[in-house]
Amino acid sequence: DAKTTQPTSMDCAEGRAANLPCNHSTISGNEYVYWYRQIHSQGPQYIIHGLKNNETNEMASLIITEDRKSSTLILPHATLRDTAVYYCIAFNAGNNRKLIWGLGTSLAVNP
Amino acid sequence: ETGVTQSPTHLIKTRGQQVTLRCSSQSGHNTVSWYQQALGQGPQFIFQYYREEENGRGNFPPRFSGLQFPNYSSELNVNALELDDSALYLCASSFSGGTLKTQYFGPGTRLLVL
């Protein structure tokens, strides 16, 4: 399972886009990039995932570089409720085993 | 809301005691994974259950054990509790049958061992 590297913390102004980077240079071809977030030690919340193509849903957009060695999660209009720890995970969804978590990025959205 | 529920929400035990945590999976899901999250750390995989059998295990001692029931709900049992077992215990459910097996998490059980 590939390891991911994320900045420890980031700040964002309310209403602006939050761009959270993730490096996964050793990702293998069958590993998806998954993003979760965790608010105040609640259970992690699934945000989005992708394999090669960029993805968008009602919560966020995921931009994956062509070589798949890095990705960026974009929250288009951050709100105070988006303050959380964001985790980027390379997950072999096909074998449905464990998610390997790093320390994530602590995002603070400021008024 | 993911539809994954866990009980109890909080628990206090003393060293040496035993504890059982419970998880009900999301409707349509047949797989349950358990994670331990110490304060300030990312979750650590404990084990996974599929069709009532253990389907993968992380680096946890045998005193961590589990069960999955025919309705796909699950239990995590920890014997001989140690102070370091104090953590947030998370359960995640998924469906093993499709192409993707996204895991959806419950709210967690916070265990304090004194």
DSSP characters for B26-74?
Answer: PTT--EEEEEEE-TTS--EEEEEEETTEEEEE-S--TTEEEEE-TTS-E
Q: What is the mean pLDDT of chain A?
A: 92
State the pLDDT at residue A69. 94
Pairing of strands A105-110, A61-64: unpaired
pLDDT tens digits for range B39-94: 989 999 999 999 899 988 999 999 999 999 999 999 999 999 999 999 999 999 98
pLDDT tens digits for range B101-111: 789 999 999 99
State the pLDDT at residue B46. 95
pLDDT tens digits for range A7-20: 999 999 999 999 99
In chain B, residues 49-108 whose CB comes closer than 8 Å to chain A: 50, 55-56, 58, 88, 90, 92, 94, 96, 99-108
pLDDT of residue A91 exceeding 60, the answer is yes
Cβ–Cβ of B33/A99 closer than 8 Å? yes
B-chain residue closest to A86, CA distance: B42
Q: Which of B42, B100, B107 sits opposite A43 (nearest CB)?
A: B107
Contacts of A49 in chain B (CB under 8 A): 100, 102
Are B44 and A101 in contact by the 8 Å Cβ rule? The answer is: yes
